[in-house]
Structure 1
């Protein structure tokens, strides 16, 4: 009785169709929400602050995977047999990954920006300089482009038996590439951004606790400031934690242990399901704009509230108006 059949002999099995259906649904809802957000940024805001530039780029990164999501659905529907060639496999995997990790980078930059604005409201900072933020975002997109090339070409589609697989743990010949890429992504793409965002949250909380002569407005600012970074941390935890934990576990198990075929099947299904959860970030990020930015709410007619005084810019923040933009 062979209870430890080598993963080499395992043939890919079809995945539940509920996964691509949910993936397409989440992607479609996120696409609508982010297109609406981009419309608000481009057509409803007369001027942009440094924070607005970061939020715009986050919304842009959230729609990266929308064009390639249907390919994944067709891939599942055809019994996990990839028939679109190596180039489209590379494009699909690269764009899905760029969406996930582009979001983590821009969420981290938003958290760090809010920290600088709140904790150092009376000091100059390049994080408050819109021109610098534009250059920073351009650098992020160049990094994501390099990520696209490395990630995509390091994990091409390959034949497993008579079936062509695209980014599947059944591709045993690519186990070393999967392992290396996973280690880089979980450390640089998840743990580092999460640590920075968590540190920003703690620093903002401590900075606001030290404010003297707290007025009702200051108290409101305290809650709004903490809420924005807290929402970034919640998105990290809900959307990106499961995917990184499951993928890291899977590549370690598949690289260092002999596993039964049903174990590899369960790992693959769990990983694909985590993509659906990770995709929820494109639906949650617009909430960040609505509930974390007074400027964004004022630009949307249904959220608009008339105020008696103008809202200051990021470079004119006072303790009472730290998070109005």
Structure 2
């Protein structure tokens, strides 16, 4: 691989442990099920949407976007050889980018929304209006589209040591592109949303000190909002920050320090682990729905209670039917009728 100074890199790509694709299969399956349930509840069971529900619905969509690319990712992790062509490589990266940064942006918006709902409880505020929230979500999706479309024009597959790679730091013709794109998206796609969420958490924590402890309703709202923003920060810390750190180290080493193969190997192994952790966001985001949305929580628990009630009713009817049809029951009924006669 050529770096910017013209030197050749002889570092070998690290093999991916079998644990990675197995774990990804489990993560994607659980995330797919959870997000399908969440989208079903939002679309079919939550009758009246407010701004909170709109934001969470869009977050669920951003998590579900990864589903079409999941099989390609798992197969590529198993074989380490991309056999699906350039277009599917570009589509996979587009879906990955939309999934990750869509989740990040909507988590940031949910944190901002929760802070203003509690600390600036003004019913007429534009942030609480469904129309404004819907339009703002549309703007986010347009930004995600514009952010991902360039992949279809500049990203290519490359032959590296006899195998085809897709979005690998070992691609010599993509090294500068990966470096520039990484630093731009690191700032706009991670640092700005994370700092914004952290500021919302800090401001809300300060607001808690001013809350009247006798106001039960306000305390409940504040508690749920703190839990929501805290969950968002935890998702940032577990899913997004580590993978951005290891990726930044990898593209920097491969471009400026190509002879440091030992360090690059360790960073590449760490990147695979953090990249796997980044996939867990589709399993962790549904926690936000339970904290931030009373309507979602109520609908979910109500549906569960109804199913449990139906099961009990069905079991009771079946038991009653068995008692009526059993020989002992019939004999007992005959004896009762004779005694009454």
Which bin holds the TM-score, normalised by the shorter protein?
A: 0.7 to 0.9
Does residue 36 (structure 1) correspond to residue 49 (structure 2)? The answer is no
Query: Using a 3 Å threshold, how does the CA distance of structure 1 residues 21 and 304 change in structure 2: closer, same or farther?
Result: closer
Tell whether 2:66 aligns with 1:65. yes
How far is the alpha carbon of 1:101 from its aligned partner? 0.8
Counterparts of 1:228-243 in structure 2, within 5 Å, are 228-243=228-243
- Give, in angstroms, the shift of residue 262 of structure 1: 4.5
Q: CA deviation at 1:126?
A: 1.5
For 1:234 and 1:139, locate their aligned partners in 2 and report how far apart those are by CA, in whole Å: 26
- Structure 1 residue 159 displacement after superposition: 1.6
SS in 2 for 1:9: coil
The DSSP-based 3-state class of the residue aligned with 2:164 is: strand
**Distance in structure 1 (CA, Å) of the matches to 2:150 and 2:214:** 51
CA deviation profile, 1:278-324 (whole Å, cap 9, x unmatched): 1111101101111332211111135889xxxxxxxxxxxxxxxxxxx
Matched, 1:270 2:270: yes
Q: Distance in 2 between matches of 1:152 and 1:252?
A: 24
Unaligned runs of 5+ in 2: 1-6, 306-341
Q: Tell me the CA shift for residue 256 of structure 1.
A: 1.3
Show CA shifts across 1:53-110 (max 9, x none).
Answer: 00000000001112112112222322x2211111011111121121111100000000
* CA distance 1:10–1:122, change in 2 (3 Å): closer
How far residue 215 of structure 1 moved from its aligned partner, in angstroms, is 2.4
Paired residues of 1:297 and 1:303 also in contact (CA < 8 A): no
Question: TM-score, normalization: structure 1?
Answer: 0.86
Assess, with a 3 A threshold, how the Cα gap between structure 1 residues 188 and 124 changes in structure 2: closer, same or farther. same
Q: Could you tell me which residue of structure 1 aligns to residue 171 of structure 2?
A: 171
Give unmatched runs, 5+ long, in structure 1: 1-5, 306-325
How far off its partner does 1:9 sit?
2.6
**Residue 260 and residue 203 in structure 1: after superposition, are their counterparts in 2 closer, same or farther (change >3 A)?**
closer
Residue 47 of structure 2 corresponds to 46
Retained in 1: the 8 A contact 2:59–2:103? yes
TM-score, length-scaled by structure 2: 0.82
Report the alpha carbon displacement of residue 173 of structure 1 after superposing the two structures with TM: 2.3
The farther-off stretch of 100-109 and 156-165 is: 156-165
